Amino acid sequence: MAETEDFVGQEPHPVDDDLFKEPMKKRRRSDRDQRFRAFPSVEQSALKEYEKLESRTRRVLSNTYQKLIQSVFLDDSIPNGVKYLMLLALIEKPSLDPIYIGLFGSTGAGKSSLINAIIQQEMFLPVSGESICSSCIVQVSSGCCEQYEAKIHLLSDQEWKEELKNLTKLLHRTEELGREEADEWDRDDAVEEAIWKLQMLYGNGAEKKNYEELLRAKPKGKIPTSRIITLKAEEAGELSVKLDPYIRTQRRDWDGESAETQIWPLIKHVEVTLPKSELIPEGVVLVDIPGTGDFNSKRDEMWKKTIDKCSVIWVISDIERVSGGRVHENLLNESIKACQRGFCRDVALVVTKTDKLHLPEYLRERKVRTQAIQSQREAVLERNEMIKLQRNTILKEKLKRKLPADSKVLDTSDLVYTVSAQEYWQQALLTEEETEIPKLREYIRKRLLDKKRRMVTKYVTEAFGLLLLTDSFSCTENLPNEYLHVSSLRRFVEERIQLLEKAIDQCFAHIAQPLQEGVRNARTSYRRILGACLVRSRGNQGFHQTLKAVCLKNGIYASRTLARIDLNEAITQPIYDQIDPVFGGIFGAGKPTGSALMPHIDAFKHSLQEKMTEIGIKNGWKYNSCKKSFLIQEISAILGGLEEHILRKKRRIYESLTASVQNDLKPCYEEAAQITGKKACERMKDVIRRGVDQQVAEGMFERAQERMQHQFQQLKNGITEKVKGSIATMLTLASSQGDGLYKELADVKSEYKEMEKLHRGLREVAENAVLRRGMQDFLLRMSPSKLGPPRT
């Protein structure tokens, strides 16, 4: 009780009322409050305070900007230094980049049902049943709009022409086939899907026409020139009815398609926006991601980019499929790769349909018999807990093999969720809490609150740095040795940048040995891996044109019915197996003595800040000197911005291996794609095998290794160039006091003082949030326990 009493006796800091006065042109209070309806009161208070800090900061920046443009005529004759002061970048910076949460799973896994439960709209998105849902990506978010809205984005004319050309090549037979080969051709998955797409868009018989004939043919459905279809409705059910035909594709033997379903082969992705939601906060995007990608190049590229931009990935798996299977493993592997190449920081397994249980069978096979099972409900809860323990251990071990030891996801207690969307609505067996839908909502809220806190802290800090600089031009400090101060700093910066370059070289050197070992492994195993990729359980039956589709797409084929095929990725996998933990370590957190990159940049930052303080003390800068404060503050802003630059380059570096191999194998894929006639499947396989053998003999894997190392070198050069340029600009500005160039600048002392107050407000808001959380935890611990099970 002692620690909780500390919270009971404390009040949140009395934050200055003036600090949080609303800007003039601000949305009404009721509208702003509605944005936070998804949050409990404690979190709402913190969000409102951060929102006020941000809006006040924007107002200060805007006022400063208006003063400066009145005092300086901005044209091309004004150097970049003054434009640097114009604050436009910060003023125009978006309030919060969305948090993308990817729901990644195969058809029928329960992604749509889960989204429906989270947003509290039971039948909003169509769920898999008699029909098959489309392979397009569906994004769901809430916004400030008053209506429900959906935007259906279609492929451009050029993008569809590219796919149409490949589809007609896939269906083209230049020679008569024997009866057995013709049957195999007709049963081919890629052929079936190509025929279905063309018939859906152009009508029966379209599959018999060539590319030029189909270009002249008129699609059955109406295609808007903007290539965007916008749907709006006052109610969720109304929009759901309108949206359903676009994102649900009917069975292939169903002949009652509507005009909307006729254009689904053109759909690239769908964006759905809900009005202000009490459950999903604005700034969160739930993304329904199909498990395999797409045959169309643009859709497939969007599939991969969407996965990579998700900061959270939930792998969705039906309770009956979670205990193994190739599809489930492929989904997990792709999600872990997103942690390596993309922005993903958190992966979890969400097991759906956990209400499904056959009680007699479960009791017969039940291994834990320490307690008697009295009901279906008890069996479901026990089975769910066992699934959590088992899959949590398996997933954590898998993550440990692929990610660096200091990855935050490895410390996460909840790696597995067991949910039931059906029980969330019916509550025949489980309470609402036991369905774990509220737990997922809580996770979403915490992610958004944490991101908002970090964004506002960074934003206010950067703004404070710029106001420090602006005010420094009117400082009246007596600094006769100003030039010497800055010259000394310049020399020190040059020395530290050289040390930083060496540190980055040492950091990147950690990848060299694993790369070499991976290349050796790839050389010895590529034939076995390639052979496994080119063999199907039923031989060539139904694989002839699928293999041709693989070749048409340079080694990659994705469809809604087959597991994704990527020959380039498969034969480079032995290299990735070796480099993955080290690669993750380079781009993760860590110690400056290790392989992690960012700690070296942080050490560089601290050394510069310490040097600035030292020079200031030696040369008589005041303790609170605006010049010294600006330099220290701006160093943080410059180097803080490097992290996003590094994350953007990370994907290109990681994918350079497969991109290099794909580029080297392109001629053999193109040759194989041209093969038709008898025994075409075996002949294509032979061309691919010979082509890969030849490229390996000529150093294909070694070239991939060199290209990855070259990408690392380019990243190092980019980092040092950005640091040199930004710091040079900063020092030039800092040494410009008294220069005639700035004598016309307006006095911004009042704005500086207000910004200083806002900067102090960051700490007060953070401390208040800690006190509120402590109070909330105390009250929860003191409250009576919730009563449990509903009816059985």
DSSP 321-345: TTT--HHHHHHHHHHHHHHHHSS--
* pLDDT tens by residue, 367-422: 766 778 889 999 999 999 999 999 999 999 999 888 887 788 888 888 999 999 99
Residue 767 φ then ψ, to 5°: -65, -40
Residue 115 has pLDDT above 90, yes or no: yes
| 726 in Cβ contact with 493 (< 8 Å) | no
Model pLDDT, residue 458? 84
State the chain's mean pLDDT as an integer: 80
| 93 in Cβ contact with 459 (< 8 Å) | yes
* pLDDT tens by residue, 205-228: 999 999 999 999 999 888 999 999
SS (H, E, C) 98-113: CEEEEEEECCCCCHHH
| 262 in Cβ contact with 196 (< 8 Å) | no
Residue 257: which pLDDT band, with cuts at 50, 70 and 90? low
Residue 13 has pLDDT above 50, yes or no: no
Q: Which of 580, 115, 654, 569 is nearest to 300 (CA)?
A: 569
Instruction: Kindly list the distances between the CA atom of residue 71 and the CA atoms of 67, 470, 747, 748, 752, in Å, as whole numbers in the listed order.
Output: 6, 13, 10, 11, 17
* pLDDT tens by residue, 329-341: 888 888 988 888 8
Long-range contacts of 388-392 (CB under 8 A, 24+ apart): 388/416, 388/418, 391/322, 391/349, 391/351, 391/415, 391/416, 392/416
Position with higher pLDDT, 161 vs 412: 161
Span between the terminal Cα atoms of the chain, in Å = 38
Dihedral in degrees, nearest 10, Cα atoms 722, 723, 724, 728: 110
Query: To which H or E segment does residue 518 belong?
Result: helix 512-533
Mean pLDDT, rounded, for 345-370:
87
Mean pLDDT, rounded, for 693-699:
97
Q: Within a 10 A sphere around the Cβ of 123, how many other Cβ atoms?
A: 15
User: Which residues 6+ apart lie within 8 Å of 718 measured at CB?
Assistant: 645, 649
Residue 280 φ then ψ, to 5°: -115, 115
Structure tokens of 219? 């699609």
**Rounded-to-integer distance, Cα 335 and Cα 332, Å:** 5
Position with higher pLDDT, 599 vs 560: 599
Position with higher pLDDT, 523 vs 589: 523
* pLDDT tens by residue, 603-618: 888 888 788 777 766 6
Model pLDDT, residue 738? 43
Residue 188: which pLDDT band, with cuts at 50, 70 and 90? low
**Rounded-to-integer distance, Cα 154 and Cα 159, Å:** 9
| 577 in Cβ contact with 514 (< 8 Å) | no
Query: To which H or E segment does residue 579 belong?
Result: helix 567-586
Structure tokens of 645? 């630059």
Position with higher pLDDT, 192 vs 788: 192
Apex 231 CA angle, 226 and 232, nearest 5: 135
Residue 21: which pLDDT band, with cuts at 50, 70 and 90? very low
Model pLDDT, residue 185? 53
Most confident of 12-21, 82-91, 659-668, 726-735: 659-668
Q: Quick one: how many helices (H) and strands (E) in the chain?
A: 27, 13
Instruction: State the pTM of this model.
Output: 0.84
**Rounded-to-integer distance, Cα 99 and Cα 449, Å:** 11
Mean pLDDT, rounded, for 102-114:
89
Residue 229: which pLDDT band, with cuts at 50, 70 and 90? very high
Structure tokens of 524? 């010895």
Percent pLDDT > 70 in the chain is 76
Strand partners, 132: 249
Q: Where are the alpha helices (DSSP H) in 403-436?
A: 421-426
Helix (H, G, I), strand (E, B) or coil at 148: strand
Residue 223 φ then ψ, to 5°: -115, 115
Residue 16 has pLDDT above 70, yes or no: no
| 15 in Cβ contact with 761 (< 8 Å) | yes
Model pLDDT, residue 15? 41
**Rounded-to-integer distance, Cα 38 and Cα 44, Å:** 9
Query: To which H or E segment does residue 116 belong?
Result: helix 111-118
Residue 424: which pLDDT band, with cuts at 50, 70 and 90? very high
Query: To which H or E segment does residue 438 belong?
Result: helix 437-472
Q: Which of 649, 654, 664 is nearest to 702 (CA)?
A: 664
**Rounded-to-integer distance, Cα 219 and Cα 484, Å:** 74
Amino acid occupying residue 11: E
| 292 in Cβ contact with 106 (< 8 Å) | yes
Query: How far is C-alpha 263 from the chain's CA centre?
Result: 29
Model pLDDT, residue 733? 66
**Rounded-to-integer distance, Cα 135 and Cα 303, Å:** 10
Q: Which of 157-171, 589-603, 682-696, 754-768 has the lowest mean pLDDT?
A: 589-603
Model pLDDT, residue 485? 62
